[in-house]
Amino acid sequence: MTEISEQARLRQILEFCLDKDLERILLSNPADADAFSKSKLRPLLLKGEVIFQAEEQRGKQAFHKNLTKEEAILYVENCLSRDFRQAEITSANGKATVLVSKKGKMTIKTRRHPENGKGLAFGKEKTFSKGTQILAHNRVKQYILKENIPVPFLVDLGVMNKEGRIITQKYDKFRQINRFLEFIQDILPRLDQQREVTILDFGCGKSYLTFAMYYYLRELKGYDVNIIGLDLKTDVIEKCNHLAVKYGYEKLHFYQGDIADYEGVSSVDMVVTLQACDTATDYALAKAVEWGAKVILSVPCCQHEVNRQIKNEVLEPVLKYGILKERMAALMTDGIRANLLESMGYETQILEFIDMEHTPKNLLIRAVKTGKPKDMKSTVQLMKELHINPTLERLLYREGEVQSES
């Protein structure tokens, strides 16, 4: 039987113990006497879900943070790699003690509880002995970009450390990047691997996702990609270009500018627009259609235009509440955008996308070109009933009203 490292064994224990039956995890014996003296983790039930609260003790002050299971695992691992030399894990199913020497060598001792009807004893059906995997509780998400494998741009952007461990505070960003790459993975059959593929990313910002897209497509999948990032902020563009040169990403370039005015290419295979505010999303979508993009990925935000326009006597009892009007306007905006893209020969989906810089969950419009336009009659009627005149409609149909297919 192949032996596993103590670090891997620790992860197995944490995967097994971090549930509602956890009593506590006590981290003590700090490596730095001036830092936190100890930290305790315990499970909490919040809005029907089990989370884990870390209480960090510094002198007479206590600091709290709430963590998901994945975040709690990374928190304990990171603490034992730099902040503390001892951990006691106490669960209804058993107890484990983790000791870390000054040289960083980890030793784990486990002790099973007698059968108490609340769970399995440590080491019986789910053992922590070396070389044994806890298959029933091995629920670690299989990400496209793997944990514990350093990725240069993730290190420089502060998501990973040099050993490939995810920084606790950046775990949500790590999940977001991988979720985005899953969307890219789904549309790979639409991208020609026999020629250069041009991708334009508008509103790239700090470019976590732009670098991830380049790394995934070129380094991991072998595509010949030319990726162009556009943003309005000069300092962001300069930094991103510097990093692209540093990594040797010869076909990744960043420019300052607006997608509506960008004339650097005549055709594009894929357009990505994330968090383009209000009607900026519409200009990006219209430009993508003009270029004949095979794939469009768009995460809109701040849909103010329809919120100002929407009006309907039947819906007034709901629309009179500002927050409900705002949410309905956002949903109508994205729904109408998706239908307008279908009228231009795209197959569209509206999917949930994780984003931690704005709202916990946003919607992503994924459009794939089929060349088969769909009828717009019902969408035209909906816009008429709600008194909506969206920017994307005016941009796509400059000569007049949307015409339905006969």
- State how far the Cα of 197 lies from the Cα of 293, in Å rounded to an integer: 11
- Residue 356 scores a pLDDT above 80: no
Predicted local confidence at residue 404, as pLDDT: 42
- State how far the Cα of 319 lies from the Cα of 332, in Å rounded to an integer: 13
Helix boundaries (H) for 249-321: 280-291, 304-309, 316-319
Confidence of residue 138 (pLDDT cuts 50, 70, 90): very low
Domains in the chain (CATH in brackets) are: 6-138 (no CATH), 175-396 (3.40.50.150)
pTM of the model: 0.64
What is the tens place of the pLDDT at every residue in 292-301?
Answer: 999 999 988 7
Confidence of residue 40 (pLDDT cuts 50, 70, 90): very high
- Residue 131 scores a pLDDT above 50: no
Selection from 147-151, 233-237, 307-311 with the highest mean pLDDT: 307-311
- The predicted model gives 90-96 an average pLDDT of 83
User: What average pLDDT does the chain have?
Assistant: 84
What is the tens place of the pLDDT at every residue in 171-214?
Answer: 888 988 998 999 999 999 999 999 999 999 988 777 889 999 99
Describe the crossing of helices 377-386 and 322-343 by its angle, rounded to 10 degrees: 150
Predicted local confidence at residue 122, as pLDDT: 41
Cα angle value 164/170/75 (rounded, 5°)? 75
- Residue 275 scores a pLDDT above 80: no
- Residue 343 scores a pLDDT above 90: yes
Cα angle value 305/344/205 (rounded, 5°)? 50
Predicted local confidence at residue 268, as pLDDT: 94
- Residue 129 scores a pLDDT above 60: no
- Residue 370 scores a pLDDT above 70: yes
Cβ atoms of 86 and 113 within 8 Å: the answer is no
- State how far the Cα of 330 lies from the Cα of 251, in Å rounded to an integer: 36
DSSP for 22-85, written as a single string: EEEEEEEEESSTTS-SEEEEEEEEETTEEEEEEEEEETTEEEEEEE-HHHHHHHHHHHHHHTEE
Confidence of residue 390 (pLDDT cuts 50, 70, 90): very high
Predicted local confidence at residue 206, as pLDDT: 75
- Residue 128 scores a pLDDT above 70: no
- State how far the Cα of 255 lies from the Cα of 262, in Å rounded to an integer: 10
Cα 36–chain centre separation: 30
Element (H, E) at 247: helix 234-247
Cα angle value 335/341/344 (rounded, 5°)? 150
What is the tens place of the pLDDT at every residue in 104-124?
Answer: 889 998 876 544 444 333 433
